[in-house]
């Protein structure tokens, strides 16, 4: 009887642990992240340290790209480094293991460097699997200039079996990019409309032929040259199958030969005004904040008919109360990467301890439905699949000239006296985008990585992975690139 009782108790402990709403490692990482934030960003809207630890990204895994953009954030040696699958997988494994140990078992991570499609399909798929094995939800960053066969071979193996049920890709399209097949030198953003749409059509075909779902984000660098076209891009792309539109005002980072004066003049407000102009409405963003307002502005919501609606409106008390209760009781619960049945049990455990949550959720839902025109209208739209998630984001990176001294002083534990450098330190401390350095035991903000560490890192990689030792895949990519030009 004793062995049976022991097995029963062991099983029960496993069930309790598996259905725990928030993993203890996640809770520890969230608490640590909150304690590290500058006091000025610890607002009721702040998601970092309360629901999320932030995004993660790879570095030094494949710095090479086959487009020539103006501007370009890559360091001068980036395109002199060979794309090498073994190196990529080794580095991804090391970085993801470190991130999982330091930041908890679940997070969103970006497979990013140069151009991800320069990896062979097998290496690309293997990198995504490594990231998933370490509890990361991976997103592949690309210029989107690849064919359906490449995408299919990443997601489906040689025997026709699905490697993944869902993939995430972020595609960067803007008129500042040079070398895209079919349109090597676009003159206006509208020239790229068909290319933006074709990218989504590949994933629609993948879903139809292999049952693989996809989350797609659209990225765009913004300078004075194309700022006035942002509204046109919003009007165009919001009707395509993207779930996020992300804009990055250009900063002085990377290869100085690819930069010109004036890029620093674009700020978040200017871009946001263009987003609102494109939609023809206000785009509410104040209810949920990720990191520093000077760096990030995010509006989470959905489109329904010809209108966009935020999930939480900061001007509605019932919705703000729901946000606060969500952070307090569901903060840290992994909604995106959990089986629905297990997620229901975890949320049920939370509501068992906080039954008033049902009332708060009902009031939030009622407010949201009223904003959308009522139950009948919204329900009909859901049935017709006319409701589509849509997030708008502006990321404002910082100039390397400011980041370099700010980061050096932070490493020495010295607060800056200069107001501009001190502001840069505050923004770095609240960064939502982190990269791992297991060799030094450090987590590094993305702006510090690109402004300070990338140049030396890529110079070393140029020696470790010289272009003179080329793989068949590299040769094919270069031939394709020459043909496009």
The whole-angstrom separation of Cα 180 and Cα 68 is 9
Is 16 among the domain residues? no
Residue 472 inside a domain? The answer is yes
**Quick check: is 252 in a domain?**
yes
Above 70 in pLDDT, residue 471? no
Q: For residue 213, what pLDDT is reported?
A: 96
Say if strands 166-172 and 136-142 run parallel, antiparallel, or are unpaired.
parallel
Q: How far is residue 331's CA from residue 48's CA, in Å, rounded to a whole number?
A: 10
C-alpha torsion angle, residues 152, 157, 159, 163 (rounded to 10)? -100
Q: For the chain, how many structural domains are there in total?
A: 1
Give the integer Cα–Cα distance in Å for 345 and 289. 28
Separation of alpha carbons 413 and 265, rounded Å: 31
Is 433 among the domain residues?
yes
Residues 341-354: tens digit of each pLDDT: 988 999 999 999 99
CA-nearest of 61, 210, 202, 33 to 130 is 61
Using CB atoms within 10 A of its CB, is residue 185 exposed (0-12), middle (13-18) or buried (19+)?
exposed
Neighbours of 152 (CB within 10 A): 17
Residue 192 is assigned to a structural domain of this protein: yes
42, 266, 396, 400 from 427: Cα distances, Å: 13, 18, 10, 13
Instruction: Specify if 425 maps to a domain.
Output: yes
CA distances from 221 to 54, 339, 414, 445, 470 (A): 21, 36, 33, 20, 31
pLDDT the model gives residue 482: 42
Is the four-CA dihedral 459, 460, 463, 467 of positive or negative sign?
negative
Q: Residue 478 above 60 pLDDT? A: no
CA distance 427 to 429: 5
136: CATH: 3.20.20
Average pLDDT over residues 89-110: 97
pLDDT bracket for residue 263 (50, 70, 90): low
Q: What does DSSP assign to residue 39? A: G
Confidence tier at 17 by pLDDT (50, 70, 90): confident
Overall average pLDDT of the 119-136 stretch: 98
pLDDT digits 0-9 by tens, 214-253: 999 999 999 999 999 999 999 999 999 999 999 999 988 8
| Entry pTM | 0.92
User: What is residue 382's predicted lDDT score, i.e. its pLDDT?
Assistant: 77
Residue 137 lies in a domain: yes
* pLDDT per position as a tens digit, 153-188: 999 999 999 999 999 999 999 999 999 999 999 999
The pLDDT of 355-379, averaged and rounded, is 91
Q: Is the pLDDT of residue 46 over 80?
A: yes
**pLDDT value, residue 265:** 77
pLDDT computed for residue 73 by the predictor = 84
Q: Within a 10 A sphere around the Cβ of 300, how many other Cβ atoms?
A: 19
Is 337's pLDDT higher than 80? no
Q: Give percent of the chain above pLDDT 70.
A: 93
46 or 20, which is more confident?
46
Distance CA 311, CA 361 (A): 12
State the chain's mean pLDDT as an integer: 92
| pLDDT tier, 70 (very low <50, low <70, confident <90, very high otherwise) | confident
Q: 241: domain range?
A: 54-267+396-484
Local structure of 417: helix, strand or coil: coil
pLDDT value of residue 473: 52
Is 448 a domain residue? yes
């Amino acid at each position: 009887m004793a062995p049976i009782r022991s097995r029963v108790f062991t099983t029960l402990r496993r069930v309790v642990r598996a259905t725990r709403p928030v993993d203890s490692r996640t809770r520890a990482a969230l608490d640590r992240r909150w304690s590290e934030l500058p006091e000025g960003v610890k607002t009721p809207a702040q998601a970092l340290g309360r629901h999320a630890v932030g995004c993660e990204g790879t570095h030094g895994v494949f710095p090479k790209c086959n487009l020539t953009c103006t501007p370009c954030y890559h360091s001068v040696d980036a395109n002199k480094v060979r794309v090498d699958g073994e190196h990529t997988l080794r580095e991804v494994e090391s970085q993801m293991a470190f991130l999982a140990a330091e930041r908890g078992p679940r997070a969103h991570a970006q497979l990013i460097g140069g151009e991800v499609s320069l990896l062979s399909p097998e290496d690309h798929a293997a990198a995504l699997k490594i990231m998933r094995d370490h509890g990361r939800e991976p997103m592949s960053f690309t210029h989107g200039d690849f064919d359906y066969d490449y995408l299919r071979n990443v997601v489906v193996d040689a025997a026709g079996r699905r490697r993944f049920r869902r993939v995430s890709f972020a595609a960067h399209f803007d008129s500042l990019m040079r070398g895209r097949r079919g349109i090597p030198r676009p003159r206006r953003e509208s020239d790229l409309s068909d290319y933006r749409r074709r990218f989504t059509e590949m994933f629609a075909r993948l879903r139809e032929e292999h049952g693989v779902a996809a989350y797609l984000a659209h990225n765009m660098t913004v300078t004075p040259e194309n700022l006035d076209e942002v509204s046109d891009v919003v009007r165009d792309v919001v009707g395509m199958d993207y779930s996020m539109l992300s804009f990055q005002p250009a900063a002085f980072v990377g290869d100085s030969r690819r930069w010109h004066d004036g890029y620093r003049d674009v700020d978040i407000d200017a871009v946001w005004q263009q987003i609102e102009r494109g939609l023809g409405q206000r785009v509410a963003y104040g209810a949920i904040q990720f990191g520093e307002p000077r760096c990030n502005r995010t509006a989470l919501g959905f489109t329904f008919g010809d209108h966009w609606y935020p999930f939480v409106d900061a001007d509605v008390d019932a919705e703000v109360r729901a946000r606060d209760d969500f952070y307090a009781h569901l903060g840290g619960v992994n909604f995106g990467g959990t089986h629905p049945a297990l997620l229901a049990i975890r949320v049920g455990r939370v509501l068992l301890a906080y039954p008033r949550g049902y009332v708060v959720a009902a009031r939030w839902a009622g407010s949201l439905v009223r904003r959308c025109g009522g139950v009948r209208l919204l329900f009909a739209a859901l049935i017709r699949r006319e409701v589509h998630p849509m997030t708008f984001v502006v990321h404002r990176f910082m100039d390397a000239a400011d980041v370099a001294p700010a980061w050096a002083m932070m490493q020495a534990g010295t607060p800056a006296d200069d107001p501009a450098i001190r502001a840069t330190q505050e923004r770095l401390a609240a960064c939502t985008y982190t990269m791992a350095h297991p060799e030094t035991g450090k987590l590094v903000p993305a702006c510090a990585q690109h402004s300070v560490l990338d140049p030396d890192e890529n110079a070393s990689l140029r020696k470790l992975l010289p272009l003179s030792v080329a793989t068949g895949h590299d040769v094919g990519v270069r031939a394709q690139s020459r043909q496009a030009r």
